[in-house]
Amino acid sequence: MSPAGETSRRVALEALLRIDDGGYAHILVPQLLRQRHLSSRDRALVTDLVYGSVRMRALLDHLIAPVTTRPIEKLDPPVRAALRLGAYQLLIGIPAHAAVGETVGVVDARARGFVNGVLRGIARGGPPWKLPEGDDVHSLSIRLSHPTWVVQALVDEFGIDDAKATLTVDNEAPPVTLRVNTLRTTHDDAVAELRAAGLEVEPGTLVPDALIVRHSGDLAALPAIADGRVTPQDQTSQAVIAALDPQPGDRLLDLASAPGGKATAAAERMRGEGLVVASDLHPGRVRTVARAAARLGFEHVVQPVVADARRPGVRDDAFDRVLLDAPCSGLGVLRRRPDARWRVQPEDVRDLAALQRELLVAAARAVKPGGRLVYAVCTLTHDETIAIDEWAAEHLPHLVAQASPSAPWRPHGRGAILLPSDARTDGMFVAVYERRDRERVLDPEPDRAPVVRVAPPPAHESGGWSRWGN
């Protein structure tokens, strides 16, 4: 057994255990990799093993179940995590002697015989392994490794073909997408700098000026990122700011803004002229906004504030542009946040939709007559997308729908939606509104029961670079 291999599996097993205990993969993996002295090859292996084992959990459990007499949910967490880790290696074609031996070597001595026996049983059964066939929800949930309720929701909303395409893309490892700060560099100079640093660079598929990069090292260490010439941000997030269309000199409110990617993107489009009030409920998350603004030199433009977005503490009718990138179930970003598919529950969608309606009322109050409001969520559920727009049409008639992004975006109610399979980006829903009257916006549901707050997960970002912003 090679020391490097043992270290890689040990780090991966540690990450899987911490994720099972409530940690977030896109935060944990970069943290662990910064703490461990691994080669580039082993860093890439750890990332693949962790993300792949989490993504394919349902399929892995399907492979494990027939060769153990103990129910998977009853196994000790380290044993269960090790079995999934080993089964994933077998699934992706790592030779059985390495997949089994390396994995057995990092588990407690008392469990090695059991783990060895189960993994060798899986190896004897394939490849190919017998998997459920057909396009029924149960078979798809195992074969494409998603909770049945997510599969059913996508099939109901978009049909079987689009549902399968989305579920398939969710299981791909995404590249990192960068936004170019044209106040500090040009598009061509950014491409040249990144390629000189050893990155593969391609143009965006959705936002032409975006840069898709592939790199196995620590992106945070790149001077282009550290010095604010480029920022990791998925193309859909960049497209949301394009729909908001901030102009130099605007007063802009970004509700629920952490970690600050959209706030700083707006400041870039405003050429550093105007004001961006970037609010978030949690002080720690607001500090990430402040750091993002400082890295890009926008301390004089971006004003981070701690506030409940339902009551943001700003004057009514005060802002030219308001962005509500609302907390949501996140079903559009499952390829980058694979653990979210197992964390979010159907009842969360109901509670989040109620919160989103409250936030939309607050946003509508803040935008001035003639101003623009953009509602965006990185999810695909009916209740958080088209149903929110239908509610707004009935209860907030002063918000007049405007043109939404065009193809490959799809019309969805009065807004537009993008499935992950449409452009191999995050999934996103966007609705663009103009405030048309001067009457005070009243809460259409003043006697509503308090919303059960669903704590949003730590801020996500392309490729897991949460420190830079969404």
Residue 201 belongs to some domain of the structure: no
Residue 207 belongs to some domain of the structure: no
What is residue 215's predicted lDDT score, i.e. its pLDDT? 75
Are residues 100 and 166 both part of a single domain? Answer: no
Given a contact cutoff of 8 angstroms between Cβ atoms, the answer to whether 260 and 295 are in contact is no
- Distance between CA 67 and CA 183 in Å, rounded? 59
Is residue 413 left, alpha or beta, with left meaning phi > 0 and alpha meaning psi from -120 to 50?
left
Query: What CATH number does residue 99 fall under?
Result: 1.10.940.10
Asked whether the predicted pLDDT for residue 246 surpasses 60, the reply is: yes
Asked whether the predicted pLDDT for residue 203 surpasses 60, the reply is: yes
Asked whether the predicted pLDDT for residue 376 surpasses 90, the reply is: yes
pLDDT confidence bin for 7, thresholds 50/70/90:
confident
- Distance between CA 105 and CA 394 in Å, rounded? 61
Return the closest-CA partner of residue 336 out of 455, 457, 164, 170.
170
Q: Give the three-class secondary structure for 279.
A: strand
Higher-pLDDT residue of 1, 408: 408
- Distance between CA 276 and CA 296 in Å, rounded? 14
Are residues 95 and 19 both part of a single domain? Answer: yes
Q: In total, how many domains does the chain have?
A: 3
Helix 77-91, helix 96-104: angle, nearest 10 = 160
Asked whether the predicted pLDDT for residue 273 surpasses 90, the reply is: yes
Residue linked to tokens 């949910």: 73
Q: Choose, from 87, 155, 169, 378, the residue flagged as catalytic.
A: 378
Residue 294 tokens read as 């400082």
Q: How many angstroms separate the most distant Cα atoms in the chain? A: 73
Are residues 405 and 366 both part of a single domain? Answer: yes
Are residues 373 and 242 both part of a single domain? Answer: yes
What is residue 438's predicted lDDT score, i.e. its pLDDT? 66
What is residue 220's predicted lDDT score, i.e. its pLDDT? 79
Average pLDDT on 36-60 reads 94
Residue 374 belongs to some domain of the structure: yes
* pLDDT per residue as tens digits for the range 408-457: 999 999 999 999 999 999 999 999 999 998 666 666 665 554 443 433 44
Distances (CA, A) of 311 to 107, 193, 279: 50, 44, 11
* pLDDT per residue as tens digits for the range 330-354: 999 999 999 999 999 999 999 999 9
Asked whether the predicted pLDDT for residue 166 surpasses 70, the reply is: yes
pLDDT confidence bin for 466, thresholds 50/70/90:
very low
Residue 179 belongs to some domain of the structure: no
Q: Which strands sit side by side in the sheet containing 176-180, from one edge to the other?
A: 200-203, 211-214, 176-180, 230-232
Residue 463 tokens read as 């490729």
Asked whether the predicted pLDDT for residue 163 surpasses 60, the reply is: yes
Q: Give the three-class secondary structure for 428.
A: strand
Q: Give the three-class secondary structure for 72.
A: helix
Are residues 294 and 166 both part of a single domain? Answer: no
Average pLDDT on 144-163 reads 98
Average pLDDT, the chain: 91
Given a contact cutoff of 8 angstroms between Cβ atoms, the answer to whether 206 and 420 are in contact is no
Residue 216 belongs to some domain of the structure: no
How many other C-beta atoms are found inside a 10 Å radius of the C-beta of residue 193? 17
Residue 229 belongs to some domain of the structure: no
Residue 377 belongs to some domain of the structure: yes
Q: Enumerate residues 6+ apart whose C-beta is below 8 A from 438.
A: 317, 369
Are residues 247 and 320 both part of a single domain? Answer: yes
Average pLDDT on 35-58 reads 93
Residue 132 belongs to some domain of the structure: no
What is residue 432's predicted lDDT score, i.e. its pLDDT? 98
> Please, what's the b/e burial string for 198-230 (b: 16 or more CB within 10 A of its CB; e: otherwise)?
ebebeebebbeebbbbebeeebeebebbeebbb
Q: What share of the chain is helix, strand, coil (3-state, %, to 5)?
A: 45, 15, 40
Are residues 159 and 249 both part of a single domain? Answer: no
* pLDDT per residue as tens digits for the range 68-96: 989 999 999 999 999 999 999 999 999 99
Are residues 120 and 256 both part of a single domain? Answer: no
150: domain range? 137-170
Are residues 70 and 142 both part of a single domain? Answer: no
Distances (CA, A) of 334 to 70, 139, 145, 160: 30, 19, 11, 18
pLDDT confidence bin for 136, thresholds 50/70/90:
very high
pLDDT confidence bin for 1, thresholds 50/70/90:
very low
Asked which of 5-9, 47-51, 230-234, 317-321 is least confident by mean pLDDT, the reply is 5-9
Is-catalytic flag, 328? no
How many other C-beta atoms are found inside a 10 Å radius of the C-beta of residue 147? 17
Query: What CATH number does residue 425 fall under?
Result: 3.40.50.150
